[in-house]
Amino acid sequence: MGLSKGKFERIQACADEQGVIAAAAMDQRGSLRKAIAKARGAEVSDAELTEFKTAVVKILTPYASAILMDTEYGLPALKHKAPGTGVLLAYEKSGYDTSTVGRLPDLLPDLSVRRIVELGGDAVKILLYYNPEDDPKINNIKHAFIERVGAECAALEVPFFLEPIAYNDQLGEGLEFAKVKPRYVAKYMEEFSKDRYGVDVLKVELPFNIAYTSGTLGFKGEEAYTRAQALQFLKDTASAAGKPFIYLSAGVSDAVFRESLEMAAEAGVPFSGVLCGRATWQDGIPVYAKQGLEALEAWLSDQGVKNIQLLNQVLAKGAKPWWTLYGSLEAARG
């Protein structure tokens, strides 16, 4: 089945002429505030978050097909985006409730999909912490939550980009979690490709942690798998996907993210682009924290632009149009 007219046109608005989603992410909220505050050694105001976001939007969107933004601090920044740049808006609250188990999601109370469209959004993004092997009661709540968002998006013909983030609170984030990550990513890609959720594009993690992948530039010395195994994980997870998917950068460096995407291209997986945030602009955080806005804009105009251009070169070689899984552009149109 193809997409509704509204969904089709709005996904196209977030893609480039080749149908590749070369999007920048700037919807970080709490994590961005903490990072700037840590680099500065002092508190960060809401106005400063908006200022940082505005600089990123103004300087990087000429090189991006779309920008992912939050509505709390980022709306003023969108006035400075390049013409023709698509807009994805985050619908979920930042972070999760640490007082209950399960990392349950929640929506921003003053938002709806209708309001996201009225604010200029072409698409809705939801981040969901997800452990496919968690207590079924927890995952049942999360499944119902995604079904509701999917139905709301379908009613208004707005594309639904879902960003599942694998986790296991017992294993933490080290070697042992790296070992289960390929299985978790494959399982969530299969689960949320089901039509009942109404997801249109999956924004997914690379199915390995490159720090534990021997034979890569990003390898840190402790092995969970080899580069050859990581290539197989890419193929296995891609075959589990029944929806178009794009990769997120997960805060790794720009060079490491490019290496990971080159591996995806080598594995021949039909990924349809990226939603890349911190890999492109995170090294500008200490510049802004210590030297201010002008210094950040100078850094973004030089290194930030170089980072996104190098990323776009990798996408030009390896990424496939978002409609690839539909068979053709016409089939996607429905």
- The band of 51, judged by pLDDT with boundaries at 50, 70 and 90, is very high
pLDDT score at 126:
98
Q: Look at residue 251 and tell me whether its pLDDT is greater than 90.
A: no
Q: What are φ and ψ of residue 305, in 5° steps?
A: -65, -40
Q: Determine the structural domain holding residue 214 and report its residue range.
A: 5-333
Q: What is the mean pLDDT of the chain?
A: 97
Question: pLDDT tens digits for 131-179?
Answer: 999 999 999 999 999 999 999 999 999 999 999 999 999 999 999 999 9
Q: Looking at the 3D structure of the chain, how many domains does it have?
A: 1
Q: Are 212 and 219 in contact (CB under 8 A)?
A: yes
- Give the rounded percent of residues in the chain with a pLDDT score beyond 70: 100
Angle of helix 305-318 versus helix 254-267 axis, rounded to 10: 10
Amino acid at 212: Y
The domain that contains 287 carries what CATH number? 3.20.20.70
Predicted structure pTM score: 0.97
CA atoms within 13 A on the CB side of 196: 6
